[in-house]
Chains A and B, each alone.
Chain A
Amino acid sequence: GNSVTQMEGPVTLSEEAFLTINCTYTATGYPSLFWYVQYPGEGLQLPLKATKADDKGSNKGFEATYRKETTSFHLEKGSVQVSDSAVYFCALSPRNTDKLIFGTGTRLQVFP
């Protein structure tokens, strides 16, 4: 079946630290992969996506590369800010469907 596994949080970092949130997936075929972010009191927003192997999604300093060989889509940012504090969800959409399957979410807390 299709599933997403991401690291448990919370992830606690100081401002300007390097961020990695791991995400691996199980899917038949080649799904599209996404990272969504949920800021406190708001809905989910789409920071980035990748639709095929070796694609790199990027948005506002965040990056993730679609790695078919390791079935991963880790989220990275070189220097986090306090305003990046949120819950991050890795998600996949199986090829040729409109399903969106989410991981459990990882809470990021950035302190000044």
Chain B
Amino acid sequence: SQTIHQWPATLVQPVGSPLSLECTVEGTSNPNLYWYRQAAGRGLQLLFYSVGIGQISSEVPQNLSASRPQDRQFILSSKKLLLSDSGFYLCAWRGGGSTNEKLFFGSGTQLSVL
């Protein structure tokens, strides 16, 4: 069966420090991978998505970047965190192709930038 792992669950970082959130998927190959930020009143905001290794699409200009070094690994990064980067970050995957719309989410990371 397929599972998705996301860590850490919570993170407190000072302004200006780097960030690395990791997400891995098991039990499937060539998934589409997504990073979302969930904020009150704004719902799920798509940050990045990837359809394959090294292929990253950015949806909003921001202080964050994403990478996909392996088929089932998706990393969200920042060189210098801002206060506005605080939020709840969710990794998600779904199978490729138009017939696979079920979306599986990780458990999320609550990031607090102080």
| A residues in contact (CB < 8 Å) with B | 32, 34, 36, 43-46, 49, 51, 89, 98-105
The one of B34, B45, B101 that contacts A46, using a Cβ cutoff of 8 Å: B101
**Chain B residues numbered 75-110 whose CB sits less than 8 Å from any CB in chain A:** 92, 94, 96, 98, 101-105
Interface size class of B (residues with CB under 8 A): 20 to 34
In the complex, the answer to whether B102 meets A103 with C-beta atoms within 8 Å is no
**Whole-angstrom distance between the alpha carbons of A43 and B72 in the complex?**
19
In the complex, the answer to whether A51 meets B98 with C-beta atoms within 8 Å is yes
**Chain B residues numbered 39-98 whose CB sits less than 8 Å from any CB in chain A:** 41-46, 49, 51, 57, 59, 92, 94, 96, 98
The one of A44, A101, A103 that contacts B103, using a Cβ cutoff of 8 Å: A44
Q: What are 21 A-B pairs at a CB distance below 8 A?
A: A32-B98, A34-B101, A43-B105, A44-B104, A44-B105, A46-B103, A51-B98, A98-B32, A98-B96, A99-B49, A99-B57, A99-B59, A100-B46, A100-B49, A101-B59, A102-B36, A102-B43, A102-B45, A104-B43, A105-B43, A105-B44
Classify the secondary structure of B's interface with A: strand
CB of B57 to closest CB in A, whole Å? 7
Classify the secondary structure of A's interface with B: strand
**Which residue of the partner chain A has the closest CB to B43?**
A104
A43-B105, A46-B102, A102-B45 known; 20 other A-B pairs, CB under 8 Å?
A43-B103, A44-B104, A46-B101, A46-B103, A49-B101, A51-B98, A89-B43, A89-B44, A98-B32, A98-B51, A99-B49, A100-B46, A100-B94, A100-B103, A101-B46, A102-B43, A102-B44, A103-B43, A104-B43, A105-B43
Which residues of B lie under 8 Å from residue A51 when comparing CB positions?
98
CB of A62 to closest CB in B, whole Å? 15
